[in-house]
Structure 1
Amino acid sequence: MPKTTLVGTKFCYLPEWEKENFQEALAAFVNSCKTKKTQTLYSDLCHRAQETKDAKAFLEKEFTPYQINASDGCKTGLLTGYYEPQLRGSLTKTEVYKYPVHKTPDDLIIVDLGSVYPELKKYRLRGKIVGNKLVPYYARKDSEKQDNTPENIICYVDSKIDLFFLEIQGSGRVLLDNGENIYIGYDNQNGHPYKAIGRYLVKKKELKLEDVSLQSIRAWLEKNPARIDEVLNYNDSLVYFKQKDKPASGSLGIELTPKRSIAIDRKFIPLGSLLYLSADVDENKFCNVVLAQDTGGAINGAVRADLFMGHGEDAMQTAGKLKSEDLKLWILLPKHAKEDGS
């Protein structure tokens, strides 16, 4: 784990540890063990977890919690929430369904910098070839210049606002006009850095910082249709999707579990990791065993997490309002693991 400091502790010192639903937590871990990344991290513990009858005793016996601190010594970070949205769409472009859900373009070039410079492992460069040079790929405002032929489009939806928030969430469901529901999820990104439109609206004095949420941003966009493109195009980043055969599966490739799955920055936390988080949310303490099963363009830093809240209207309302700046994270490592604290 680069650029972090790990500080070992005991489970009895974790906030509200005794209130955890240990059977539910262990079930989420066993489910994550279906993936190769979690199996690699926890080897035989994945098998033994399936056979244990006392989840709490198993966790306390087999793991040691290490608090994750940023390289500057900061112990706290930002917790937000996300959900699986429901959109309306069609396989055919019409006057109603006219906003394309893009597949990854064939001419998008992805360079794994770690293959050339080992110290840049997990960093990627994206662009397109012009002449004999790699140049930045089309930004959001120029997306109509890329190949928009039907074979490069999954479907068309009826709301540019809904489509933008689908990009933020990373996966969703589209109810087609033929009655079929399809699942779509993150596949790639155009290489431009993510920029939060909430900050843009604050800068333009359209919203107050303390009022920024998914709901307030959506409400502003709906009330100001003439400025939708201006605001959305502030974020040059554009997400490309692929069709999936199951609901909300994150970067780990497994179906996400509400309030147990988090998106993390994998430059700091390995995908598939078992963690414990604590944060003050609306004057209440939220503490849970969670699993690093997803990533996101807005999820940056060692002490940073985005908590999956589920599917539907209730999940949207909860996720949109979830924000805590006193997040603490502990990674749960096998007792025998030798952690160098890097």
Structure 2
Amino acid sequence: MKHLLIFIITIFIFTGCSTKLTKYDNISKASLERVSFYEIEDFYNDDLNKALEVFVKACKKSKKNELFQGVCQEALSTQNGRDFFISNFHAYKLVDSKGEDEGVITGYYEPLLNGSLNKDERFKYPIYKTPKDMIIVDLSSVYPELKKYRLRGKVVGNKLIPYDSREELELTPNENLEPICYVDDKFELFLLHIQGSGKVKLQDGTVLNIGYDNQNGRRYKSVGKFMLQNGFITKNNASIQGMKEFFDNNPQKVDEILNHNESYIFFRESSQGATGSLGVELTKKRNLAVDRRYIPLGMPVFISTLNPVTKEKINKLTVAADTGGAIKGEIRADFFWGYGDEALEYAGRMKEKGKLYILIPKDKKQVLN
């Protein structure tokens, strides 16, 4: 009897306490580990009322998703963030295909550029609107499995061909391109393309909000990785700051290196500041850009990572409100630092390990099955 009791206890230790991973393919392609809120470091120390405020703002768009309809309605009738999130959500830690629970967390920000409505010797780099001749093809009516994809191109003769690359757009005159304005720094303009939105300060002091409108359909290629592989920067200065220093010292290399990334972004004037893919204005240190295969837009996400400069812990409940060409992977996010030079200081240097926890509404059992 004694041996039987020991055997039962042993089985409990090694099976009852083992980690159970779950798959909810309708929500995330990642493996998910159910955790209690007490297991999430600093969850109860965070400003959950602020997190609720950001979640409510996201609900203006995310409530269209069946997953969030109920909790978005509930969020309007409460002001207690702690009670709201604990009562309405279960927490799940993202785990990758290798069984690891840490991924890469980078940062982004809203850049400020100097510009002019008129082109001259100083202000000569255009911020373009979406080209008039660019065609966007939605294949979902014929191929439902491709509903998340769009073809972008232009018609030449009777054929639809890929739209121009970055190099082609900058070298070939195109009457279908209309500039919003012109800026004075090519690398700063490239950063605007990478960040997806920003501000342009005109000479009379007027500030234009510039937001993402479209893309040329070419695949994003990392310029930073290209510079690292070719010895233009080292691991020690693999940051926006390190890249800028190289370009300041080697202006003849700017075009060659930037054209490695054929992707090109088109913009529009906006009435508000940085706006993510969800369609709501981003909140400093409370929004993330994510890979939608693993984290739906509008999802509350608790992030555990480090400040890249001070190495202090960042443990915050955020909301997924944006995407990005470089944000791909099961445990992958871009942390929004806000606007200005201080935001650039952190965002430009950030490449930290981190954990992500998604909060799934409790009332969506039918979605989870």
1: CA distance between counterparts of 2:63 and 2:261?
31
For 1:235, the aligned partner's letter is N
Is 1:183 aligned with 2:209?
Answer: yes
Shift of 1:132: 2.6
Tell me the number of residue pairs that the alignment of Structure 1 and Structure 2 aligns.
341
The residue that corresponds to 2:29 in the other structure is 3
Query: Measured at CA, do residues 339 and 300 of structure 1 come closer, stay the same or move farther in structure 2, by a change above 3 Å?
Result: farther
123, 141, 163: which one pairs with 2:189?
Answer: 163
Flag the structure with larger Rg.
Answer: 2
Are 1:37 and 1:271, in contact at CA under 8 Å, matched by a contact in 2? no
- SS of 1:115's partner is coil
- SS of 1:43's partner is helix
Q: Which TM-score applies when normalising by structure 2?
A: 0.86
Shift of 1:3: 2.8
1: CA distance between counterparts of 2:304 and 2:366?
22
The residue that corresponds to 1:333 in the other structure is 360
> Any idea what the Cα deviations from partners look like across 1:178-197, whole Å, max 9, x if unmatched?
33211011111111111111
- SS of 2:337's partner is strand
Shift of 1:340: 6.6
Q: Map 1:215-234 onto structure 2 (within 5 A).
A: 215-234=241-260
Shift of 1:316: 0.9
The residue that corresponds to 2:7 in the other structure is none
> Any idea what the Cα deviations from partners look like across 1:65-86, whole Å, max 9, x if unmatched?
1222334544322111111111
Are 1:281 and 1:323, in contact at CA under 8 Å, matched by a contact in 2? no
- Where does the alignment leave 5 or more consecutive residues of structure 2 unmatched? 1-26
Q: Which TM-score applies when normalising by structure 1?
A: 0.93
321, 326, 329: which one pairs with 1:301?
Answer: 329
2: CA distance between counterparts of 1:162 and 1:56?
40
Are 2:302 and 2:317, in contact at CA under 8 Å, matched by a contact in 1? yes
Query: Measured at CA, do residues 205 and 339 of structure 1 come closer, stay the same or move farther in structure 2, by a change above 3 Å?
Result: farther
Which 10-residue stretch deviates more, 160-169 or 299-308?
A: 299-308
Is 1:268 aligned with 2:294?
Answer: yes
Are 2:197 and 2:275, in contact at CA under 8 Å, matched by a contact in 1? yes
The residue that corresponds to 1:127 in the other structure is 153
Tell me the C-alpha RMSD between the 2 structures: 2.1
2: CA distance between counterparts of 1:115 and 1:217?
43
2: CA distance between counterparts of 1:303 and 1:250?
19
- Where does the alignment leave 5 or more consecutive residues of structure 1 unmatched? none
Are 1:278 and 1:329, in contact at CA under 8 Å, matched by a contact in 2? yes
The residue that corresponds to 2:83 in the other structure is 57
- SS of 1:65's partner is strand
Is 1:96 aligned with 2:122?
Answer: yes
For 1:130, the aligned partner's letter is V
Query: Measured at CA, do residues 341 and 145 of structure 1 come closer, stay the same or move farther in structure 2, by a change above 3 Å?
Result: farther
Are 2:62 and 2:68, in contact at CA under 8 Å, matched by a contact in 1? no
Query: Measured at CA, do residues 89 and 150 of structure 1 come closer, stay the same or move farther in structure 2, by a change above 3 Å?
Result: farther
The residue that corresponds to 2:312 in the other structure is 284
106, 113, 118: which one pairs with 2:144?
Answer: 118
Are 1:105 and 1:147, in contact at CA under 8 Å, matched by a contact in 2? no
Are 2:110 and 2:199, in contact at CA under 8 Å, matched by a contact in 1? yes
Are 2:240 and 2:349, in contact at CA under 8 Å, matched by a contact in 1? yes
Are 1:3 and 1:71, in contact at CA under 8 Å, matched by a contact in 2? no
- SS of 2:76's partner is helix
- SS of 1:6's partner is strand
36, 39, 44: which one pairs with 2:70?
Answer: 44
